[in-house]
Structure 1
């Protein structure tokens, strides 16, 4: 059986549509469909069933995907074994991280690794946690930095391991001439009359904000839903509204705004996720050690 066809079937079990698999594997939907058809022809049994616009796996398909998982893990482990024997930090590693942690962490980590290990190449992709976790499961990235708000533990499968990195505390961002400017802390209930600008890149953060405000006795008045941090901070600077942002994002590169801590604290846990069998690779160990060092420094 061709490993490429098995990988296509595995991707289909995760992404549910030919179009989504094609996008992940950088091929056409017809190519994905042909790979599945050839695999079914080779085995003489149906592996998928069409349901509306998507597909589901048959019992045979599910069993084959389980076997494929083991094969891919073994291949990854074999690659790590060879890398360990070479004892050279080289090759390419792919890292996915969400914007706030990426901005605070990735540039420093990559800069340090380029200095220490010039033969190592880091390929970085900005992804939200759930997206990066899917990329990790489908071998589109090697390391995913995730948080427990967008990628809770139940989203992890048995082939994924995690390393805790840090806890991040959310803060409130206001304009320099806002009534709360110069205040080091603010109670959440004090914000009941404010206008809010939210980051729509993650629905989880908006839901977190709404839940926290409702627990404090009010419903937030959301007047702006932004797809980028640049738009959000521009609105804040002009006094159009306030926003809540992670402490990691508030740790650098903020001008003409005021950031204050929220009471009670709202926290998230940030972790590094990777596939089992990879941790023996010298390149993997070098990258992880730098991420941990810069996160905890």
Structure 2
């Protein structure tokens, strides 16, 4: 009888297998098929009945494999549809808060820019620290070296003091660098907080001589406001950790002005130039 299977239940009834998962069913069928394999009889089937059962088992296994394949395709399709839906939701959310997204991007860019300035001295001092550590760990090797022994004398107090100060400076530099990088990250990311944005906006409004301004004047205020509050002279050669460039200041100003417009703290109107003019609705609110 040439059996064509059309369901899992049909396979289970045909071979007398009880309830189980699809993988367990396939495994049991494979074991049964092995018992009828021609290799157990020198490469040929024992009889026609075993040959028929072997091929029936093969068809059953193939049917299960086809179901599993289709199930995987359906799963992949479902995941793809879900991914598309999530992507669409994220895109919609990003579009609604494009200015906040731009601000986050500019903050990350500014932080990475500051970190890159310290990369070269950090690499150089790391190499020096490693070299010093190796020298102090293996003094006998240095003493026996024909070249190093001419420049490094462990019996000399001045040499030991010099190496100690170099190692000390390297460690101090690493500690201060780590601290300044952490401060940079905290200060730049604080621009996303509402409290910092409120202080910048309030200070700017109170500094105005009249109730109208442009975004350019607000950007300049943010930049110069941070310059006035820098208090890090020790590492001036690497720039201030609180420095805000024009791109970051502009992104910050846009987010703040958008919030101010929504809360009706300011209004916008055509100033007759390419820049939008803003009008403070009530100066007394910021005094």
TM bracket (short chain): under 0.3
Please give the TM-score of this superposition, normalised by the length of structure 1.
Answer: 0.19
Q: Name the structure where helix makes up a greater proportion of residues.
A: 2
Of structures 1 and 2, the one with the larger relative CO (CA 8 A, separation 6+) is 1
Please say which structure displays the higher CA radius of gyration. 2
